[in-house]
Amino acid sequence: MDWSKTKTIFIITFLILNLFLAYQFIQKRNSSQLDVILETTIEEQLEANGITYIELPKEITKAAYLSGKSKIFNDQELKKLSNQKAVITNQSILEVSFVKPILIPNPKDQYFLNDFIKRNIISGENYSFWKFDEKTKEILFFQKYNGKVIYKNASSMLVLHLNENNEIVSYKQTLLHDLEEYEKQEIVPAIKAIETLYRKDHLKPGDHVTNIELGYYALVQFTASQVLTPTWRIVVNGKQDYYVNAFEGQVINEEN
């Protein structure tokens, strides 16, 4: 028997066995690490990445689709407008100019603005202040339903136009009416909406969710009749808005 050849065979055999055992060990270790990751809660994963958030609404567990129609403005309503010249475009768009401009002490004073639109604009109580754009000198309002905002819908907006003296000189208005809810259904919890942003890489280490609230979003706009879906609006770092479908848990792509 050639002992040299036998020794070589043993060495190769043991080497192959060691490689196999090492491979098995690595596979088990990776599988174990994966199990640990899968068992980690979203709260723990966010905390590990330094992602923080405000206290989340837990009382809202159900919501419903909302349907509505574009309001058709009529001449009788226009006659009630004081100090205003109005033109109706496409029946559902009201464009108005003030005969005498209205001075605004502070374009960000929501109390004054809400009171102003209630007294001077058709169904003004149905709108909620959104923002003042200093560059365009526009104050934007979104329509609301039962305290919930209808986000960025061209058929339910009010835009006040200011001049350089912070005077309201005109506005453009659209409105949804005959609003009706469907049967309520379970919605994605707020923490799951945040998790969706995290999984889609919209949340970065150190980010802070500064606001989260439930409203409505129309996936198809510029139609006479619309169906609005309950939607989580999530504000990150006080400046970036994201919208997550509260039924499907998907991020709404505003460009589409």
d(CA 144, CA 131): 15
d(CA 231, CA 251): 9
Per-residue model confidence as pLDDT tens digits over 85-104: 999 998 899 999 999 999 99
pLDDT at 58: 85
d(CA 140, CA 118): 15
Exposure class string for 114-142: b at 16+ Cβ within 10 A, else e:
bebbeebbbebebbbbbebeeeebbbbbb
pLDDT at 38: 54
Q: Low-confidence residues of the chain, pLDDT below 70? A: 1-39, 221-223, 254-256
Chain centroid to CA 114:
23
pLDDT at 247: 95
Quote the CATH superfamily of domain 52-64+182-245: YycH protein, domain 3-like (2.40.128.690)
Q: Which residue has the tokens 């050639």?
A: 2
pLDDT at 91: 87
pLDDT at 34: 47
Per-residue model confidence as pLDDT tens digits over 191-210: 999 999 999 999 999 999 99
Phi first, then psi: what are they for 75, rounded to 5°?
-65, -35
pLDDT at 14: 55
Fold category of 68-180 in CATH: TATA-Binding Protein (3.30.310)
